[in-house]
Structure 1
């Protein structure tokens, strides 16, 4: 926890913050081994970052005296990631990694090779998704919460949502066997599409290319989704 992320309702009169949830209290005690008088980096969700001094710590509450929380969060990546829904374990890790890297818009998409049972996973509950996003923000010292949307049908997504999403963006379809290597160091609004384990099926690839996406690859190795996404983002931006 490189940053203590505060909800607006946890701040009193702009100068005092109280947190009560067991996870953060446990982290302060067991990982930071916090003591009264220690200074920590804090940020308010959707707002600025600064420092605060620990005034008290118990099993039920931590109280901080706040300085100015006016430093901006790190800049976001100019990308909307369309990610075929990974298996639940991988989804949890992926959301944390993507958030830490600065992705602010994520769409989880159903494709042919996505198991239908994945959509029933408890990891898709809003509170579970939020918990992983918070962990990513704390890791990266960021305060701006990503938006995660669900697209449970491939055809409706391509026909009804993709045209608006790709407008004004460079659409990149990451898939093994594409003709072009992944570009490096771009700085333009981008729509990045990444398939499931095993990749998109040929029909899906055709439809995405017809919609205006450019096919790109990362080389001859087949990577796990979480590895591929991290490598793509690092190379692109």
Structure 2
């Protein structure tokens, strides 16, 4: 935890917070802090700064806040991601949060098993907790927004064209043509579609291109989703 992230319910005054949950255990067991020590803190969707520990015991910590710094700039990227298998989903959500991606659409695809949609990891509270871990790692406070779309065709035909109105759309998929002519780093906001393991099927690629996306060939290697995300950000954006 590189940043102690506070939520509004932790604030008893604008500059005073009390915490009693697992974050308290982290302060005690990892930071081994004492009253008078300072910690790097941020308020969810707010500013960052320092907190001086006023009181500290096994029941609670009282923190005096001095918040002055804005959150890091978001990555100008909307990610459309075919729902990964549950084992990978948590890592992907955390990585989205760490990379500064602020808008994520989890969509269905032919190669996404229907059982994946019943994963408890898709619970709103569980998604929130996982994203928070990524923010704490990256020292960020702006929570990504996660949208779930269980039907591929309605999303691609009805929503995707509107999302592409002011964004460059790309499909990260092995393809006969490539988008090598793109300036790198990208000079405009982008939307990138990433398929499941094994990729989108040809019909899905065709629908994504019809909606206004361009093909982006990452080469001959077949990557895991968790590998593709940092690879894409590294290739297309200056971070």
TM bin, normalised by shorter chain, reads: over 0.9
Structure 1 counterpart SS, 2:185: coil
* CA shift in 2, pair 1:30/1:187, >3 Å: farther
TM-score normalised over the length of structure 2: 0.94
Q: In the TM superposition, what whole-angstrom CA distance separates every residue of 1:121-170 from its partner, at most 9, and x where no partner exists?
A: 00000010000110011111111111000010011111111111111110
Structure 2 counterpart SS, 1:92: helix
Cα distance in structure 1, aligned partners of 2:61 and 2:217: 48
Structure 2 counterpart SS, 1:74: coil
How many corresponding residue pairs? Answer: 235
Contact 1:178 1:216 in 2 (8 A): no
Coordinate RMSD, CA, aligned:
1.3
Q: Which runs of 5+ in 2 are unaligned?
A: none
Structure 1 counterpart SS, 2:101: coil
Q: Show the counterpart of 2:81.
A: 83
What is the Cα deviation at residue 9 of structure 1? 2.4
Structure 2 counterpart SS, 1:133: helix
Cα distance in structure 1, aligned partners of 2:229 and 2:20: 35
Structure 2 counterpart SS, 1:41: strand
Contact 1:181 1:219 in 2 (8 A): no
TM-score normalised over the length of structure 1: 0.95
Q: Show the counterpart of 2:167.
A: 169
Contact 1:19 1:63 in 2 (8 A): yes
Q: Which runs of 5+ in 1 are unaligned?
A: none
Contact 2:179 2:214 in 1 (8 A): no
